[in-house]
Each structure stands twice: as C-alpha cells, then as structure tokens.
Structure 1
Amino acid sequence: MAELVICEGGSDLQLEPSQNPTFLYRIGSCLVSGREVIEINDSARLNAIAIEIRDEYSQWIYSINSLFLQNKLVSKNLSLFFLTDLSCKRLEFFRTYDAICNLILIREKMESVAVDKITVSGVAPGFLRACRSIYPDVDTICLETKEEKQFSNLRRIVSDCRYLYLVAGVGLFNTISGKGRDHDKNGNKRIYYSVFP
C-alpha cells in the first residue's frame, strides 16, 4: 500500500503520519511535512521528456487547424487558427504541455509501485482530471485546487490595444527607416522565428 502525493505551488502541506510508503512529486516549491516521503522528482528526466514530446505536441496543436479549415474560419487565405493564443502555445493560458510532461514523469517513476491512494494539493482542475485518468481505480483526495486565472474582458482589451499600438509603432518605425523590406543591402532575406513549447 503506497500513497502518491502531488503538490503544486509555494504553499505548505501538512500530512497526517502514516507507516505506508509515501511518494512525493512537487510542481513548484511546496513544502511537505508530517511524515517521511520518497521524492520522485527528476529534473533531468523531465527536461528529456519535454524534448522527446515537443515535436509530437506541436503537431497535435497544429492538427487543431483542420477544425478551423473545416468550419471555414479563414480570412484572405489565412486560417484564423494562426492568430490564436493556442497556435502560439501560450503557456500562461494553456498549461497542457507542462501537465503532460509532469504526468509522463510521474507514470514512469511510479510504474513499479502499486499506488492505492493519491493526495493532490494546489493543482489545477484539469491536472486533477488527467491524473485521475492515469489512475482511474485509485482513491484520489484533493486537498486544495488552484483556481484558474480569470482574465477580465477589460484587461484583455487593454492588453490587446497595447499590443496593437506596439506593433503599429514598430511597423511605422520600420516603414520610415526602410527596415521592412524583404532584402537588406547585403542580400539577406527575412528570418522568421518560431518557438517550441
């Protein structure tokens, strides 16, 4: 009989004493006290997992573009998918990539352990659902969930306007200074930058 404890954030977690082995996975800097724990965090392996699944994850996100095309969400031959936060894999809005990497590591580390109880604290509701899908027959106790960030419409509009003015300012500067051409005087072409998650 083993217990898996997953905590996220910077809060303290007080566990009741137990003689059963307790495995701890931290996301963030939470402090756990009350009993002896076996930490299963492995930052080197987590980084390796992130690199291993990066391309597959990017392709999965890109595959959502087909839904935009099927529903004719296109403007001037450009799929509107490419104008979304999802296509840019914005981690402040979508924690999917982090959650997948963490859950893969947890599953690897706990593969040979028979877990009969999971205690989670400070995780997002989506992470909790994903954890329950990996361990559907295990009793899962949620001590505290992290509230999803709620962005007000006013804040989002102000942020979008600020971004629009910044882009317009850069565009105006490039037009005036002549930096927006396809080739510079040395014959170099434009370079496009794409970030992986």
Structure 2
Amino acid sequence: MPTWLSVTILLVLLALAYWAMRQGWRRRERRSEATVPAVPGAPADLGAPRTDPLEAVYVSSTTAGDWLDRVNAHDLGVRSAAQVQVFDAGVLVRRTGAADVFVPAAQVRGVGTASGMAGKFMGRDGLVVLTWAPDAAPEVGPLLDTGLLVRHRADRPRLVDAVRTLVPTTAGGTA
C-alpha cells in the first residue's frame, strides 16, 4: 500500500474518531441540560468572606453519588484552574477559561473529601467534594457533586470547615 494512502486512511479515521467524541460530548451536554436547566448566579453582595481565596483546580460536577456521570451543561464539565472562596452568601468558584460557579448557602447539602471523581482520581481524600442543589427546590432536579482539588494540602480542611458552616441543619444534625 502506498504511503500516501496509508496516511490518508489514518487521517480519515482520526477525523471520524474526533467527530464521534464531539457528538458524544454534545449529546451528554443536551441530556444534562434537561436535568440541570440552570445554575444560580452570584449575587452582587456576597456578604462577609469566611475564607481567603484558595487556589484550586475545578475538576468537574457530576450527579450526586455517581461520580462518572459528568454534567456538561453550563460549563460544569469543564476542568479549569480556579480560586474558591466561601462567603456568607455561599461558595464562589472563580474559574479561568470557563463560567464561574456560585453555590448559594441555602443550596449547599454537604461537603467532604474523596479520592476522586470524573476526570481526576488520586490518593486518599485528595478532592474536596461539595454536594449542592442547582435549584432552590431540590425535589425539582438532582443534587450535584462538585470536585475541587485544592492546591495546598493545608487549605483542604479550612475549605471543608468553612463550607460545613453553610450546610443547613435539621433536627437530626447536618443535612
């Protein structure tokens, strides 16, 4: 087989593979837009800061409990460098190259650490995972898990503790 034909076939196969991956990403984005129609925007007044801005990597957001089901709608599936800061009004994740993510305090459902989620798996409890409701009424849609890889290990417990103060309490303790 001539070299030019081999190269042409290889390029066509690569283009076809890229097209198929792109179609899969778009299909996942449409499906996640149906389950997560909108995400909250940050208010003008965030209140008092509870932490300094912490350097992190925004790993991804997934449906709660299913860390392989990445949510692609509204740039939630885009991994990016970020600064995360906790305020009285909620958690603000300022991202580079993607839309910022704001989680209102009333919509925070839990926080903890984990070894990984879609897009990033690492050693024990390296990610801070924020569980939240994208809609003020959680029965309307699914809960989301958002993974943040905090750059400095010492900042991880500070972030978890600050977010934990936002989790609404119930008669049985924290939700």
TM-score by length of 1: 0.22
Q: TM-score, normalised by structure 2?
A: 0.24
Question: Which is richer in strand?
Answer: 2
